[in-house]
C-alpha cells in the first residue's frame, strides 16, 4: 500500500519538476527575446512581458506545491524540528489539518471564485481570459492537498527495521 503511494508521489514530483523545467525555459526564452527585440531590433515585443509574468506566477505556485510535498516549507520544518520526537506525529497531523483548511478555503475555493469572476476579463497583450492565469491557484491547491494526504500517510507508515542476514 505504502509503496503504491510512494510511486504515485514520485510520479507527481517528476510531473511538477517537468512542468517547472518547461516554465523556466519559457521564461528564459521570452525574457531573452524581450531584451533582444527591445535593444537590438529597437521594436519591443508586445506579448513577451505578459507571457513571462504569467509563466512566473505558474512557475512559483507549482514550485511551492513541489516544496510543500517535500515538507520543505520553512515554518513547518522549523516547528516540527523543535518538538519532542514522540509528539511529532500529532503535531504533524495538526499542521496538516490547519494547512488543509487554509488551502481548501483560500487556494481552491478562492481560486475557483476568482476564476469565475475573471472569465470574461482578457489580458491586454495575449488576449486570453484572466481565469486561465488564475487557474494555477486551485490546481496548486489540489496538488498541495494531495501532498498533505501522502505526507500524512508517510508519517503513520510502519517503519521497517530490516536486519542484515534476514
116, 131 in Cβ contact below 8 A? yes
pLDDT digits (tens, 9 = 90+) for 33-57: 999 999 999 888 889 999 999 999 9
- The pLDDT value recorded for residue 159 is 65
pLDDT digits (tens, 9 = 90+) for 88-124: 888 888 888 999 999 999 999 999 999 999 999 999 9
Q: d(Cα 84, Cα 91) in Å, to the nearest integer?
A: 10
Please give the model's pTM, rounded to 2 decimal places.
Answer: 0.85
Instruction: Give the mean model confidence (pLDDT) for residues 147-159.
Output: 85
Say how many residues make up the chain: 166
| Dihedral angle sign, alpha carbons of residues 66, 70, 75, 76 | positive
Write down the domain spans for the chain. Answer: 2-155
Amino acid at each position: 500500500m505504502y509503496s503504491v503511494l510512494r510511486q504515485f508521489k514520485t510520479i507527481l514530483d517528476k510531473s511538477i519538476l517537468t512542468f517547472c523545467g518547461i516554465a523556466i525555459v519559457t521564461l528564459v526564452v521570452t525574457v531573452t527575446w524581450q531584451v533582444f527585440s527591445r535593444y537590438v531590433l529597437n521594436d519591443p515585443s508586445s506579448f513577451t512581458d505578459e507571457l513571462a509574468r504569467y509563466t512566473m506566477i505558474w512557475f512559483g505556485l507549482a514550485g511551492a506545491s513541489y516544496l510543500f510535498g517535500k515538507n520543505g516549507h520553512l515554518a513547518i520544518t522549523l516547528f516540527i524540528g523543535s518538538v519532542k520526537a514522540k509528539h511529532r506525529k500529532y503535531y504533524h497531523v495538526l499542521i496538516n489539518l490547519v494547512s488543509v483548511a487554509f488551502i481548501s478555503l483560500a487556494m481552491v475555493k478562492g481560486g475557483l471564485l476568482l476564476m469565475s469572476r475573471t472569465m470574461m476579463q482578457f489580458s491586454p497583450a495575449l488576449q486570453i481570459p484572466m481565469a486561465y492565469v488564475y487557474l494555477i491557484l486551485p490546481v496548486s491547491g489540489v496538488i498541495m492537498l494531495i501532498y498533505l494526504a501522502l505526507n500524512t500517510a508517510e508519517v503513520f507508515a510502519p517503519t521497517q527495521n530490516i536486519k542484515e542476514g534476514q
